[in-house]
Amino acid sequence: MERTSITNAKAKQWVDEQVALCQPDAVYVCDGSQAEYDRLMKELVDSGLGTPLKARKNSVLFRSDPSDVARVEDRTYIASQKEEDAGPTNHWINPDELKKTLSGLSAGCMKGRTMYVIPFSMGPVGSDIGKNGIEITDSAYVVCNMHIMTRVGTKVLDLINQSGKFIPCLHSVGKPLASGEKDLGVWPCAPMDKKYIAHFPEERAIWSFGSGYGGNALLGKKCLALRIASVLARDEGWLAEHMLILKLTNPEGKVKYVTGAFPSACGKTNLAMLIPTIPGWKVETIGDDIAWMKFGADGRLYAINPEAGFFGVAPGTNNESNKNAMESAKENTIFTNCGLTEDGDIWWEGIGYPAKGTLIDWKGNKKPAPAKDKSPKGEEIAHANARFTAPAKQCPCIAAEWEDPKGVPISAFLFGGRRPSTIPLVHQSRDWNHGVFLGSIVGSEVTAAVISDQVGQVRRDPFAMLPFCGYNMGDYFQHWLDLGKQSTADNLPKIFYVNWFRKDADGNFIWPGYGDNSRVLAWIFDRCDGKDNAVETEIGLMPKDGAINTQGLNVSPAAVKEILSVDREGWKKEIKDIREKHYPKFGAKLPPELAAELDKLEKRLG
Ligand code: SAT
Ligand code: MN
């Protein structure tokens, strides 16, 4: 079957070593073709793991093991030589010890299975900002997802064969098959205490064992494009960030590009694809999750989206909240842990219409359709972290330049999270260092994107990188501060902190979000365009009275005022929490510039 071959000695040796360790029944090097995708998908359907959707062209539904539904942060390791280099926010194991454990677990782990060798590129193939990797996996489901999420194929393999440069990513579901044994439609994975999502930053290598889901298994995404890439970025003077990239066009046809860092499942995909509610403005998508940024010769930061698809949260996605995502997932899409309808389509809570008849829930059980477009807690038809994997090129609002290898010049960075109180709708940093301070204090209510007992609680998630920074977060703050010295204030992106998630006393969201976030984007655009539309406050620059367009907005002027004013008491508590609980975590690694920003803020609040 092998049509593609690895000729580079280094790559060949690495693959041969993994074959000897994992002992697969067969080895197959992927060519990235449609025929390959179709063949593997057919095998997955024939084996009972995938259910083809009658109502959606070339789309298949998968149900995972109930224990394997999201990223496992407690089982995610940064195995640097020194513990200090992993820092206080990562789990650390000595790399030699971890390799010993993983080698033990991996011996014969692919017995009864095919080993797929996936040459892939993060970023347009051959882009100066992009990187190549090879993922070895024993999951055809992972191969199909990687086809959508990255650029897979012979062109990438040619580059790897020529250069010998690639990031090795070894993945196994950790469930070898005995002779004659089959999965029989059951999602293969290992028990929680045998799962390891391991990163070796000095070697730039990834080793993931025991999980087949999302960021645990699609190793180009969080493992390579964030954890390992953040280390490369530190060493090489660029940025690998958990950021969407959008293109904003104002009514005069002027264009600016904006990136935004938000924790998982905080609406990055929705923001990247939003349909403005204010006339004349246009949003187009470059990326919805990750941005790699390098300085160009002109001193501006240029961003590429290293991915080629969207791995979006399904529940809550509908024609109102994100029509473009719904359109992107219309066909050629992989759905995971969604519900199945009688007429062969997917269904999830918040899809925008009630289901009919009997459904099959994400656990494979028959259930009557809920009366409304939602279900009681614990009874959901779709898992809260159910996902769609859809090709980015199917997005109706994908920007023409989304695959430009040189990237797009960034005018603004947004930071945000789910904060029910204190943080206003929008404020701008006074300067770069103050912006880095804002990034460093981001907090958010934990969502179902991670298996955690903290779901719903606010946790600090600096730069939305808490689970994704491949080195000491204190050094990461320093890297951001240092980058600010590499260019001029005019060329550097302006930095904003936004919060769509303020709640009233009854726990209802005050701001409608979604398309109405365009009102905030317009203000940010005008800030970057030099418009006199801001006032100085104790916490930074905020919209002048009337500078946010509220025409047609369904929020009372008093409520708008509330979320656009400084909550002095709230900020005082915030400062206390940062001073006592957040910043001390970084010890001597906390850059003095950030401690100084905290002091200045406290002083200004009086
Ligand atoms: O599972 S993923 O890590 O890819 C999704 C997310 O947490 O954003
Ligand atoms: Mn993400």
Q: What is the mean pLDDT of each run of 10 residues along the chain (606 residues)?
A: 79 98 98 98 98 98 98 97 98 98 98 98 93 98 98 96 98 97 96 98 98 98 98 98 98 98 92 98 98 97 98 96 97 98 97 96 97 90 98 98 97 96 97 98 89 84 97 98 97 98 95 97 98 98 97 96 97 96 98 98 96
Of the listed ligands, the closest to the CA of 221 is 1
- The answer to whether the beta carbons of residues 420 and 503 sit under 8 Å apart is yes
Examine the domain organization and report whether 419 and 476 are in the same domain. yes
The CATH number of residue 315's host domain is: 2.170.8.10
Q: Is residue 70 part of a domain?
A: yes
Place of tokens 């347009």: 124
Do 36 and 177 lie in one domain? The reply is yes
Distance 416 CA to ligand 2 centre (A): 13
Give the span between the Cα atoms of 43 and 282, in whole angstroms: 42
Shared domain for 226 and 288, answered yes or no, is: no
Backbone angles phi, psi at 168, to 5 degrees: -75, 130
- Co-location of 151 and 215 in the same domain: yes
Quick one: 280 and 413 in the same domain?
yes
CA of 199 to the centre of ligand 2 (A): 18
* Residue 428 counted as domain residue: yes
Atom of ligand 1 nearest to the CA of 311: 4
3-class secondary structure, 495: strand
Residue 71 CA to ligand 1 centre (angstroms): 6
Burial of 555 (0-12, 13-18, 19+ CB in 10 A): middle
221 lines ligand 1 (CB under 6 A): yes
3 assigned to some structural domain:
no
Q: Are 267 and 513 in contact (CB under 8 A)?
A: yes
The atom number, within ligand 1, closest to the CA of 70 reads: 1
Residues 210 and 264 in one domain: no
DSSP letters along 499-519, please? -S--B-TTS-BSS--GGGGHH
Q: Give the span between the Cα atoms of 114 and 112, in whole angstroms.
A: 7
Residue with tokens 């246009």: 282
For residue 264, how far is its CA from the centre of ligand 2 (angstroms)? 4
Binding site membership of 28 for ligand 1 (Cβ less than 6 Å): no
Does 147 map to a domain? yes
**Residues 6 or more apart from 404 whose CB is under 8 A from it?**
124, 304
Q: Is 424 helix (H, G, I), strand (E, B) or coil?
A: coil
Ligand 1 atom with least separation from CA of 264: 8
Residue (of 423, 396, 398, 428) closest to 411 by Cα position? 428
Question: Is the C-beta atom of 190 inside 6 A of ligand 1?
Answer: no
* Ligand 1 centroid – CA 570 distance (Å): 31
Mark whether 16 and 128 lie in a shared domain.
yes
Distance between CA 572 and CA 181 in Å, rounded? 61
Q: Residues, the chain, total?
A: 606
Choosing from 208, 237, 266, the residue where a domain stops is 237
312 close to ligand 1 (CB < 6 Angstrom): no
User: Which residue's alpha carbon is at the smallest distance from atom 3 of ligand 1?
Assistant: 215
- Boundary residue ending a domain (346, 366, 392): 392
Residue 404: both structure tokens together: 């430009």
Using DSSP, state whether 398 is helix, strand or coil. strand
Distance of CA 359 to the CA centre of its chain: 30
Residue 517 buriedness (CB in 10 A; 0-12 / 13-18 / 19+):
buried
**Binding site membership of 449 for ligand 1 (Cβ less than 6 Å):** yes
Position 14: which residue type? W
Query: Is residue 341 within 8 Å of 355, Cβ to Cβ?
Result: yes
209 touches 190 (CB < 8 A): yes
Residues 300, 363, single domain; the answer is no
Cα 244 to middle of ligand 2, angstroms: 9
* Protein residue with least CA distance to atom 2, ligand 1: 215
User: Which among 145, 195, 222 is the best mutation to test ligand 1's pocket, defined by most ligand atoms within 8 Å of the CB?
Assistant: 222
- In eight-state DSSP terms, residue 393 is G
Sequence-separated (6 or more) residues with CB below 8 Å from residue 485: none
Q: List the residue whose alpha carbon is closest to atom 8 of ligand 1.
A: 264
Same domain, yes or no: 211 and 296: no
Find the domain containing 109 and state its range.
9-52+60-237
Q: Is residue 353 part of a domain?
A: yes
CATH code at position 174:
3.40.449.10
Residue 27 is assigned to a structural domain of this protein: yes
Using alpha carbons, list the distances in angstroms from residue 140 to 44, 137, 147, 193.
7, 8, 11, 24
163 vs 121: CA distance, rounded Å = 14
* Residue 121 near residue 132 (C-beta atoms within 8 A): yes
Please state, in angstroms and rounded to a whole number, the distance separating the CA atoms of residues 512 and 163: 50
Is 148 part of a structural domain of the chain?
A: yes
Give SS3 for 435. helix
Q: Decide if 545 is inside a domain.
A: yes
**Is the shortest distance between the CB of 383 and ligand 1 below 6 Å?**
no
Query: What angle do the packed helices 229-236 and 473-483 form, to 10 degrees?
Result: 40
Helical packing angle, 592-605 and 432-440, nearest 10°: 90
Domain count, the chain: 3
Residue closest via CA to ligand 1's atom 5 equals 215
The DSSP output letter for 298 is T
Query: Does one domain contain both 170 and 291?
Result: no
Ligand 1, residues 69, 73, 141, 264: which to mutate, most atoms within 8 A of Cβ?
Answer: 264
Q: Say yes or no: 275 and 205 in one domain.
A: no
Residue written as token pair 């005069």: 252
227 Cβ inside 6 Å of ligand 1? no
Q: Which two tokens stand for residue 282?
A: 């246009």
Sequence-ordered list of residues with C-beta below 8 angstroms from that of 235, at least 6 positions apart, any chain:
none
pLDDT given at position 3: 52
Does ligand 1 lie within 6 Å of residue 264's CB atom? Answer: yes
Indicate which CATH number applies to the domain containing 598.
Answer: 3.90.228.20
Q: Are residues 365 and 499 in the same domain?
A: no
**DSSP 8-state code for residue 91:** B
Contact at 8 Å (CB) between 170 and 224? no
Is any ligand 1 atom within 6 A of the Cβ of residue 269? no
Residue 388 CB–ligand 1 contact under 6 Å? no
pLDDT of residue 448: 86
The torsion angle over the Cα atoms of residues 10, 95, 192 and 224, rounded to 10 degrees, is -50
Residue pair 439/466 in contact by the 8 Å Cβ criterion: no
Please give the Cα distance from 207 to 342 (Å, whole number).
40
Catalytic residue ranges = 266
- The confidence score (pLDDT) of residue 156 equals 97
Domain ends where: 346, 361, 392? 392
C-beta of residue 120 within 8 angstroms of C-beta of residue 278: no
Task: For residue 116, give the 3-state DSSP assignment.
Answer: strand
**Cα–Cα distance between 27 and 2 in angstroms, integer?**
8
